[in-house]
Amino acid sequence: MANLRPDLIGGRTNETALSALGEEQAKAVGRYIQRLLIQPLVAVSSPAVRTRRTLRLALREANSALPIYLTDDLQELSQGAAEGQPRSDVYTDEVMAALRASGKDFKLPGGESMNEVGSRMYGAMLAIDHLTLQAERQRDHETPLHGVYLPPAALVSTHETAIKSLVARIKDLPQSWVHQTRLANASITRLTVLDSHIMVDYLGRDVQHG
């Protein structure tokens, strides 16, 4: 619902609900992962209403009854006291100059920087990978799907700027890339974790349009 007011600074706004379109997009995620024969062993979400609802609808559509783990480390970038305020009032020429000078270290009063978000997101992905490997050790190595072994996977529901901040950390991309890159709502970003290193397989795949 916050997307309907792009003139206001969103940030975390954890109470924001999904719109009717958002609910349909969440269901499309579930159908998409089912088509790809992805069977997540773990489901994790930020505590925001919209991410929890997205994940629940996706799992239901994919015929999965996994419990959902919540972690604050998947939260959206906090904009501090500026959340809910008009962008034009907050991002003055002086603030924009400070942003350009500080890059990914810039943060509004009481908020977070992209570097801070990228670091906590990186830690969250490693923790989720550990949880997923634990779940794998508790399952049979052959699945009911024609006896084919499927690699362990987790389905994670988080936020656009949090995802981009993580990718910027992994690939050492600048603040301008995070600001200019747009991800479709309920898109899929796939990461691979190997020996505590995270690789980006693809970013923001739009499940609505392939």
**CATH assignment at residue 136:** 3.40.50.1240
Would you say residue 29 lies in a domain?
A: yes
CA–CA dist 17, 56 (Å, integer):
13
CA–CA dist 76, 94 (Å, integer):
24
- Whether the per-residue pLDDT at 4 is higher than 90: the answer is no
Q: pLDDT by residue (tens digit) across 114-150? A: 999 999 999 999 999 999 999 988 876 555 555 556 6
pLDDT for residue 109: 96
With pLDDT > 90 as the criterion, what percentage of the chain qualifies? 81
Q: How many residues does the chain have?
A: 210
Would you say residue 210 lies in a domain?
A: no
**209 band by pLDDT with thresholds 50, 70 and 90:** low
Among 89, 80, 81, CA closest to 113 = 80
Q: pLDDT by residue (tens digit) across 152-172? A: 899 999 999 999 999 999 999
Would you say residue 136 lies in a domain?
A: yes
Strands of the 68-70 sheet, one edge to the other: 68-70, 42-45, 154-157
- Whether the per-residue pLDDT at 5 is higher than 70: the answer is yes
**36 band by pLDDT with thresholds 50, 70 and 90:** confident
Among 38, 70, 72, 71, CA closest to 56 = 70
C-beta separation of 15 from 50 below 8 A: no
Indicate the number of domains in the chain. Answer: 1
Q: Which domain holds residue 112?
A: 2-205
Strands 154-157 and 188-194: unpaired
What token pair was written down for 40?
A: 């997540």
Residues 75-92 have a mean pLDDT of 95
pLDDT for residue 145: 52
Name every residue whose Cβ is closer than 8 Å to that of residue 94 and which is 6 or more positions away in sequence: none
Global pTM? 0.91
